[in-house]
Each structure stands twice: as C-alpha cells, then as structure tokens.
Amino acid sequence: MLTELMSGNEAFARGAYEAGVVVAAGYPGTPSTEILENVVKYKSDIYAEWSPNEKVALEMAAGASMAGARSIVTMKHVGLNVAADPLMTLAYIGVQGGMVIIVADDPGMHSSQNEQDSRHYARFAKVPLLEPSDSQEAKDFVLFGIELSEKYNTPVIVRSNTRISHSRTPVELGSRREPHKVGFEKDPSKYVTVPLWAREMRKSLEHKLPVLVEEACKSSLNRIEMRGKTRGVITSSIAYQYVRDAWPKASVLKLGFVHPFPDELIREFAGRVDELVIVEELDDFLEQHVKSLGLRCKGREFIPGIGELNTTILLDAAAKMEGKAPSREVALESDTDLPARPPVLCPGCPHRSVFYALGKHDVIVAGDIGCYSLGAFKPLNRLDSILCMGGGISMAHGLDKSCEPKKVVGMLGDSTFFHSGITGLLDIAYNKGKSTIIVVDNRTTAMTGHQENPGTGRTLMGDETISASIAEIGRACGIKRVREINPYDMANTQKVVTEEINADEASLIVSVAPCVLRERKPLGAKRHIHEKLCKNCRACLKLGCPAIEGGEGKPRINPLLCTGCAMCEYVCPFGAIAPVEEKK
C-alpha cells in the first residue's frame, strides 16, 4: 500500500476523494484553509468552491446533499458560528448524500480571535462528532463520517484543530468509492421545515440519538488500550498523542466517535481502572458528561482548559496528581529579554498607506479580521477594535449612532467585505449612518495564504469568472459617496481620507492595490537612506515597515526586504530617501 506523509488538511481532502465526495465548499480560515486547496487536486472528480462565507458554503452543500451528492464543508471554528443557522435545521432535515462538516479549532489562538470549543455544536445540533488524532485518522474519519451520515440521515461534524491540520504524519492511500446517482426526489414533508413537518423531524432527530449512542459504543473509532489498571485516561484528538508520550504506561480509552457519547464503553473502561483521568483541550466537554454518568474522575483541576496542551503540561499534571513537585528541569532556559517578533504588515503592503493616513486623524477605527488587524500594533496603532468578520462595518455604524463625539471609520478587506460586510454597509445606507467605511482591497484573501474570492476574477477551480466590484456594490446599497484610491499615491490617499472623514454622510473608500506578497515582484527601485541628508528624525520608522531598520543609530533600509514601494520616500521630510541607482 502506498504511504505518504500528509498534513491533516491534505488527508481530509484525500478522505473526501476516497469517500466519493462530489461537492466541496468552504471559506478560508486558519487552520482549515488547505483542506479545499488540496481538494482541488481531485478537481476532475470533485467540484470545489470558495463560498463567500461559511453559511453559504453549508447551505450550498445542503442543496447538493438533498439531490444525493456526497459533500464536505470546511471552515475554522468561528466559521461554524456563521454556519450555525443552517446547521441547526439541517440536523432536522438530514441528508441524502452523506455530508461531513470539517471544522478546525485553534486552541492557543495561533491565528484566531477566540479559542471556542466547537465540540459543543455537535451536542447543540444533536449530530455525530468525530475527532481524528493524526492524518491517517483525518482521512479515515471523513470516509467513516460519510458512511455514518448516509446510514443515519444526518450531517456529521469532524473536528480538527491546529495541530491535527498542520502536522504531517503518514497516511495509507486507498481508492475512490463510487459516488451516488444524483436525482432530487420531491417530498415536502422531508425537506420543508414548516412547523407542521418540522415538529415531526424534531421527534425523529431525538429518536436517532440513542441509536447513535449504540453505534458509538461498538464503533472501531473508539478503542480501549489496556496497559495496566493504575491510571486510565479518556481522551481524543491530539491530546491522545500527548498522553501516549507523557504517560506511556497509562491505559487509554481513545475516542474518535465522541458524540453522542459512548456511555457503556465509558462505564466499562472506568470499571477497569483505579484512577480515571480525562484529558481534553479547551472545555471540559467529556469530563462533564463522564461526571453526569456518576463516575469519579480527575480532569480540569489538574489539566488547564485555557490554551493548548502538550506533553510537558501532562508530565506536570501527573506530578501534581501524585503530590510531587512538577519537574520543570530543562537543560537550558530560553532567554526572556529578547525583543518580541510579532507578525507585521509586509514591506510594501498597500494597507500601510491607509493606516498612515488614518494616523493623521483623531477618529475611532473599527477593524476586522485579516492582515489589516496588524495595523493595531505600534507604530501604526490605528485600529481600535476587532470583533468578527464584517464587524468592522457594523460596529462603526453602532459607534456612529451612539452619539460618540468622535468621527468613526470602519475598516475591512475585500474577502471580508464579501463574507459579511455587505449587509452592514446596506444597514448604514438604509439607516442613514454617517461613518466612513474603508475597504482595503488587495484582490485576494491574503492572511490565509491568497485564496480566490468573488473579487479576484478566478474560482478555486482555477476558472476565470466575474470580478465583483466593491464600489458598485456600495453604490447599489445606496452609498452616495464612493471613492476608489490607489494607496501607493500617499498624497491622494491622505486627501481622500480627510475629505471623507469630514463629510457629513456615509462614505465608502475602496483602496485598491494587489497584495505585494502575492505579486512577488518589486513595486519600484529599492530605496536607500542618504546618511548625510538623514537627520535621524525617525519619521520613516512610523510606517512600521520591516525593511526599515532603526536601532541605535540612523535608520537604514535592508535591501533584501525593500520592495521599492516608496512610502518612506514620501514621508521623509528631508528628502533623504531615494531610489538606489541601478548599476549600469
């Protein structure tokens, strides 16, 4: 059998291929993004799309499923909040073609605004939950999930996380199952959730759960590994791997089919060990349930519920359980007085100019999810809040309507605008708001690694398509003042930003310039600083450009990083910055 080293996300994609999936949809979000990017490898067999948001993705997959097509939907944890509306009712309707929703959590918030535990959604929606602990299982569980979905007429959630999605482990490849024949069969009592029929669906959903509990108890995805009776651990996902490293002698009930909880299996395991410990990342989802069965167990009082777990944390927890001091001995300590190296806007990033222009005004800036969240840090320091996708626009409107004395700006990116900014903009136009909305349109979904979106003119499958105009959408919403600017023209950017902030009505500024990291070509000649002309006023450093290094002495431009965007040349009051002369 062919074995390959695959990331969890590659393996999810492979699982979709082998399961006979024909439709895949999602919205990019770390750590889930590469699932659909890998599904495209199988594009002769699977139709895949970036939907404008996760709700749309789940709904389109629900449609495909209704016709009998197998589907997967991918998103990060917060994306499932957006898709929660269709999820809750799809659980009532069920599926024809199997559907797996892959949701990737981000414990430790490597690239997220919260670390919610998405397992709760499975219980909330009353649907099965599978949790792989490596890439092999990531693949296998998609196949199993599709089968389970069809057998029990229910969408299935497969929950990943940063470490499962972005770790690479060996995977054995299999062949593709034949997809279903597709053909919608009309049956309103099955698909139309008017109360008359929805009440019946509600009952059958509830009746499905005890049957699924039985299925979970006998599932090969849940297994008892007996190694001794002193300590028994119930765990799932990546935490299983940490348990194996930290406590190699412990017995383990390894759960892959987590919800509905396999009660009998849990009771059986609890009866075979002296001490029962629950090891899970984030919330005490398993622990609460185990306790509700009347079983004594250790868990949250020894194992933290905030951030990620790791082997060291479990070693310390074991010491604590045994009443010993945690052994924090490592060979070397890391230096703790080093300068932090937070992520920053790239050299030449077009967003920088907009933040610089906003820095001239005493306004409130409601930000959003994307690279421009990096504008919150010094020295740009020109972003005052981040809530969620699209929240930049709607929060700006709320600030504006609150009688807040300062002028208000909302800022978000192109992909975010298409995701859930349009309704907020419509709200502003409809309800006569006065805030200034800036869409920093870099023609890609940059932060997650340059995915296509409705503005880019290309689909996930690589086909040419429409390029939705943000300015036109703004006008169609009813915004009268719509301005498009080139952010590299810093004088004009500042002029337009000033005019629109001072306008007494709502306005939309679309700052259009492609992401410099995606283009990967110089914007102009590299710049350098004339030692003699530089007065060390440090104005250029206020741009926060990683290419401009300012330590003790005068600033200098690192030629390896400079993209030639010339923003520093514009802000230098002494004309000390100029293009490097090309050697002839």
Partner 1 sequence: MNTDQTTSVVLVGVGGQGILLASEIVAQAALKSGYQVKTNEVHGMAQRGGSVVAQIRYGKEVHSPLVTRGTARALGALERIEALRFADYLAPDGLVVVNSQMLVPVTVSTGLAKYPEDAEQRLRNKFKRLIYIDAAQKAVELGDIRAVNVVTLGALSTGLDLPLEVWHEAVAISVKPRFKDLNMKAFDIGRSCV
Q: Between 115 and 144, how does the x/- string for binding to partner 1 read (CB under 8 A)?
A: -------------------x----------
* Cβ proximity to partner 1, 8 vs 155, nearer residue: 8
Selected from 186, 195, 325, 337, the binder of partner 1 by CB under 8 A is: 337
| Nearest Cα to Cα of residue 53 among 34, 75, 30, 24 | 75
- Minimum separation from the CB atom of position 11 to partner 1 (A): 13
| Kind of pairing between the strands at 257-259 and 129-130 | antiparallel
157 near partner 1, rule: CB under 8 A = no
Selected from 195, 248, 294, 405, the binder of partner 1 by CB under 8 A is: 248
Radius of gyration of the chain (CA): 27
Structure-derived torsion over alpha carbons of residues 404, 410, 416, 418, reported in degrees to the nearest 10: 100
- Minimum separation from the CB atom of position 242 to partner 1 (A): 5
* Cβ proximity to partner 1, 183 vs 342, nearer residue: 342
Give yes or no for a contact between 141 and 102, defined as CB atoms under 8 angstroms apart.
no
Selected from 173, 182, 344, 571, the binder of partner 1 by CB under 8 A is: 344
- Minimum separation from the CB atom of position 260 to partner 1 (A): 28
Give the Cβ contact number of residue 163 at 10 Å. 25
| Kind of pairing between the strands at 275-279 and 548-549 | unpaired
Selected from 207, 378, 521, 532, the binder of partner 1 by CB under 8 A is: 378
Q: Between 15 and 54, how does the x/- string for binding to partner 1 read (CB under 8 A)?
A: ---------------xx-xx--------------------
102 near partner 1, rule: CB under 8 A = no
107 near partner 1, rule: CB under 8 A = no
* Cβ proximity to partner 1, 22 vs 446, nearer residue: 446
DSSP 451: B
Collect all residues with Cβ–Cβ distance below 8 Å to 337 and sequence separation of at least 6.
none
Structure-token pair, residue 59: 């709904």
Selected from 153, 312, 469, 492, the binder of partner 1 by CB under 8 A is: 312
Q: Between 449 and 488, how does the x/- string for binding to partner 1 read (CB under 8 A)?
A: x---------------------------------------
**CB-side exposure of 185: number of CA atoms within 13 Å?**
8
Collect all residues with Cβ–Cβ distance below 8 Å to 103 and sequence separation of at least 6.
32, 74, 75, 76, 77, 79, 80, 118, 121, 157, 158, 159, 160
**How many residues in the shown chain lie near partner 1 by CB under 8 A?**
60
DSSP 178: P
Structure-token pair, residue 128: 């099965």
310 near partner 1, rule: CB under 8 A = yes
- Minimum separation from the CB atom of position 448 to partner 1 (A): 7
Structure-token pair, residue 375: 């504008």
Structure-derived torsion over alpha carbons of residues 135, 137, 143, 148, reported in degrees to the nearest 10: -140
At 163, the amino acid letter reads: R
Judged by CB under 8 A, the stretch of 55-63, 195-203, 250-258, 377-385 that binds partner 1 is 377-385
d(CA 43, CA 33): 17
| Nearest Cα to Cα of residue 548 among 350, 560, 535 | 560
Which residues in 539-578 contact partner 1 (CB under 8 A)? 541, 544, 546, 548-551, 555, 558, 560
Structure-derived torsion over alpha carbons of residues 158, 162, 167, 169, reported in degrees to the nearest 10: -20
Question: What stretch of H or E contains 317?
Answer: helix 311-321
| Nearest Cα to Cα of residue 137 among 284, 261, 258 | 258
Judged by CB under 8 A, the stretch of 89-97, 184-192, 305-313, 397-405 that binds partner 1 is 305-313
Selected from 330, 520, 521, 581, the binder of partner 1 by CB under 8 A is: 330
* Cβ proximity to partner 1, 51 vs 373, nearer residue: 373
522 near partner 1, rule: CB under 8 A = no
Selected from 100, 246, 265, 276, the binder of partner 1 by CB under 8 A is: 246
Collect all residues with Cβ–Cβ distance below 8 Å to 555 and sequence separation of at least 6.
529, 534, 536, 538, 540, 541, 548, 549
* Cβ proximity to partner 1, 176 vs 554, nearer residue: 554
Selected from 63, 151, 170, 301, the binder of partner 1 by CB under 8 A is: 170
Give yes or no for a contact between 7 and 162, defined as CB atoms under 8 angstroms apart.
no
* Cβ proximity to partner 1, 235 vs 507, nearer residue: 235
- Minimum separation from the CB atom of position 230 to partner 1 (A): 17
Q: Which residues bind partner 1 (CB under 8 A)?
A: 5, 30-31, 33-34, 110-111, 134, 163, 166-170, 238, 241-242, 244-246, 248, 310-312, 315, 329-335, 337-346, 371, 374, 377-379, 447-449, 541, 544, 546, 548-551, 555, 558, 560
